[in-house]
Amino acid sequence: MFVWPTSNHPKTARSWAERWNKDPRQVEIVLRESAGIVRMERGIIISRTRHGLVCANAGVDRSNSPHATVCLLPVDPDASARALCTSLTQRAGFPIPVLISDSFGRPWRNGIVNVAIGLAGLEPFTDYRGQHDTHGYRMEASVMATADALCAASELVMGKVDQVPAAIVRGAKFTLGQADSQPLIRTPQEDMFR
């Protein structure tokens, strides 16, 4: 596993930007937003954020932002989700779970999907372990990332470039709960891809 602490030194950003025809200002922000670098290759920086997320360019994104600016991940996506969940639940008079998502690539798969980077009011997983499938086999490893699945589905109606900031998901099966997004993040000891 290749992980090293990031340097905020502008020289590193300029060198990488020049080699891969990138904006050195954006590269410097990526390095600042990274808690560690997993890999730097072919113009892409795969890093671990302070949230524990492993993603391209520390989640720093130039798309959907005004000229000469970039979008960063929220400082604390779970806190943002909790605040929204509390406010919406108080106004509605019934529980309204909240998910905060971002688009991520996946190992060994092309394309991106939205995943949960923050959540409040629901359990992130649906655990099928111990249940039997339709052929009578006992399931031993089937823990579905319900929060990620809901985020992926929401992108279908929000659209990547349509500037729709939120979606309401109705009819989905989930369990109300007090968890945050941290259980969704695989620990370095469990991560076979780094």
CATH number of the domain at 67, please: 3.90.1660.10
Burial class (CB within 10 angstroms; exposed 0-12, middle 13-18, buried 19+) of 118: buried
Do 105 and 26 fall within a single domain?
no
Q: 32 and 59 in one domain?
A: yes
Antiparallel, parallel or unpaired: β 109-120 and 126-127: unpaired
pLDDT at 184: 96
pLDDT tens digits, one per residue of 164-191: 999 999 999 999 999 999 999 998 888 7
Of the candidates 69, 55, 57, the residue with the CA atom closest to the CA atom of residue 31: 57
Are 88 and 122 within one domain? Answer: yes
Same domain, 108 and 46: no
Q: What is the pLDDT of residue 53?
A: 94
| In-domain check, residue 62 | yes
Q: Could you tell me the pTM of the whole model?
A: 0.87
How many distinct structural domains can be found in the chain? 2
My answer on whether 85 and 173 are in the same domain is yes
Q: Identify the domain containing residue 86 by its residue range.
A: 77-184
CA–CA gap between residue 64 and residue 160 (Å, rounded): 9
Residue ranges of the chain with pLDDT lower than 50? 1-5
d(C-alpha 59, C-alpha 194), whole Å: 17
Domain limit, last residue, from 22, 50, 73: 73
Could you give the CA distance from residue 50 to residue 61 in angstroms, rounded to a whole number?
16
CATH of residue 134's domain is: 3.30.1330.100
